[in-house]
Amino acid sequence: MCYDLAVIGGGAAGLASAITASRNKESVIVIEAGNAIGKKIIASGNGRCNLMNTGNLRYYGDEAFARQVLSQCSAADQQQFWNDIGLVTVTESENRVYPCTFQSASVMNVLKTALRLYGAEILLNAPVHACRKTDGQVFRIDAGDRAITARRVLIATGGPAGLKHCGKETGYSLLEKFGHHIIPVRPSLVPIRTEGKSISGLSGIRARCGISLKDNAGNVLHHENGEILFTDYGVSGICAMQCSRFVDEKPCYLEIDFAGHLFSDEEALISELRSRKKMFGTMPPETLLLGLLNARIAYAVMKQAGVPMKGETLDETDDSILRCVVRALRHYRIGVTGIRDMEDAQVTAGGADCREFYADNMESRIMPGLYAAGEVLNVDGDCGGYNLMFAFGSGILAGRNRRKKADSSAEGDEAG
């Protein structure tokens, strides 16, 4: 049989599109390389699955394209999609939307039920290694040992982020065979590697702070406020991972502000330190920051401030040292040596060039009938549900397949 739609990849984008198309009475097959669909959905949000975000959009890569896609399939439209297939959601802090069970398994349950209900077929253990248009009308897809024909094909093969064995990124080569271009891929939302000295002894500590990634000229490349996690190789946690996208080959460093959320300005901080110095005068210098900071961070800050840590009391230290402590507290410097590998990343930056696709139905501008959605495209988002929101949203649009208006770079055709 010739399917109306063959979806290559049973992840968020592929499943959303398969449900949308099969609900519209199209015959659909989902072709999945692995032994199960939705593996990244299950892993997402630490098993809680942060589905989407109702706040401001936070995308990189082709950000404009992401905005266009999500203006056609907004958070409200996606909420409707979830309502229609029976998932109850809740919105938590920072506009993060989760299934009300806080279990990604619930998301997979409703997706699988909808696929069954609307009759979409699932083919597992079937890696697609070739796809071509046969007679100018239908596509032939070679999947494992099966050949499948379809009138429309959606490439929803995701990216290599989070996968143990990279190098099987056939989605990109399938698209390249049709003349599409791939923006080089790299890991994003990934922990940052740093030099060892300034994180020594801090592994395992979480800290609330401001974190800035700066180049060696002191220019801020990216800034976040929130929580970081020190590790034995560097810095992790949402804020650090959101800075990782801006680490490139140029030398850079992290500047941590451990006190900005506690004191409105440096004068308030210095007067606090003066009164502590008076109060703990007969004690060793490391006493100065106890009760204000985690003890191990306090020690590291004092060391970076150049406070002599042995054989003196606070009374014996010069008052000018307080300025150095304030500086180290607000501008704690950690040299960056790189980022962790694709395997440790949550999302892939780079991917298929979005300019070669229509943002209202995800169809190729090069090859009619070919579509791409989700992480395979050159869009990546911040933590907070943005990546699944783009994957589900673009998948829904590909399944709906409505060209709403001809855009300036299209040839003026308006499909129904």
388 lines the binding site for ligand FAD (CB under 6 A):
yes
| Interface with ligand FAD (CB under 6 A), residue from 5, 6, 7, 8 | 8
Nearer to ligand FAD, 176 or 319 (CB): 176
Rounded (10°) angle between helices 295-305 and 321-330:
120
**Binders in 322-361 for ligand FAD, by CB under 6 A:** 346-347
Q: Which residue is nearest to ligand FAD (CB)?
A: 11
Nearer to ligand FAD, 41 or 209 (CB): 41
Nearer to ligand FAD, 14 or 99 (CB): 14
**Binders in 266-305 for ligand FAD, by CB under 6 A:** none
Min dist. Cβ of residue 403 to ligand FAD (A): 22
First-to-last CA distance in the chain? 25
Residue 204's CB is within 10 A of a number of other CB atoms, namely: 10
Q: Which two tokens stand for residue 374?
A: 């989700």
DSSP class of residue 74?
Answer: -
Min dist. Cβ of residue 24 to ligand FAD (A): 20
> How many residues belong to the site for ligand FAD (CB under 6 A)?
38
* Binding piece for ligand FAD, criterion CB under 6 A, among 61-69, 131-139, 154-162, 400-408: 154-162
Nearer to ligand FAD, 322 or 396 (CB): 396
d(CA 200, CA 197): 5
Nearer to ligand FAD, 187 or 210 (CB): 187
Nearer to ligand FAD, 263 or 386 (CB): 386
| Interface with ligand FAD (CB under 6 A), residue from 3, 6, 7, 9 | 9
Residues ≥6 apart with Cβ < 8 Å to 411: none
**Binders in 118-147 for ligand FAD, by CB under 6 A:** 127-128
105 lines the binding site for ligand FAD (CB under 6 A):
no
Q: Single out the residue of 73, 62, 95, 91 nearest to residue 16, CA to CA.
A: 73
User: Is residue 397 packed enough to be buried (19+ CB in 10 Å), middle (13-18) or exposed (0-12)?
Assistant: buried
50 lines the binding site for ligand FAD (CB under 6 A):
yes
**Binders in 243-262 for ligand FAD, by CB under 6 A:** none
Q: Which two tokens stand for residue 226?
A: 């929130």
| Ordered DSSP codes for 233-295 | SEEESHHHHHHHTT--SS-EEEEEESSTTT-SSHHHHHHHHHHHHHHTTTS-GGGGGBTTB-H
91 CB-side CA count, 13 A: 9
CB 205 within 8 A of CB 297: yes
| Interface with ligand FAD (CB under 6 A), residue from 156, 238, 321, 339 | 156
399 lines the binding site for ligand FAD (CB under 6 A):
no
d(CA 13, CA 10): 8
Nearer to ligand FAD, 33 or 288 (CB): 33
170 lines the binding site for ligand FAD (CB under 6 A):
yes
Q: Is the dihedral of CA 328, 330, 331, 332 positive or negative?
A: positive
Nearer to ligand FAD, 167 or 311 (CB): 167
DSSP class of residue 405?
Answer: S
CA 391 to the chain's CA centroid = 11
99 lines the binding site for ligand FAD (CB under 6 A):
no
385 lines the binding site for ligand FAD (CB under 6 A):
yes
162 lines the binding site for ligand FAD (CB under 6 A):
yes
Q: Length of the chain in residues, anyone?
A: 416
- Residues in touch with ligand FAD (CB under 6 A): 8-14, 31-34, 39-41, 43-45, 49-50, 127-128, 156-158, 161-162, 170-171, 346-347, 374-376, 385-388, 391
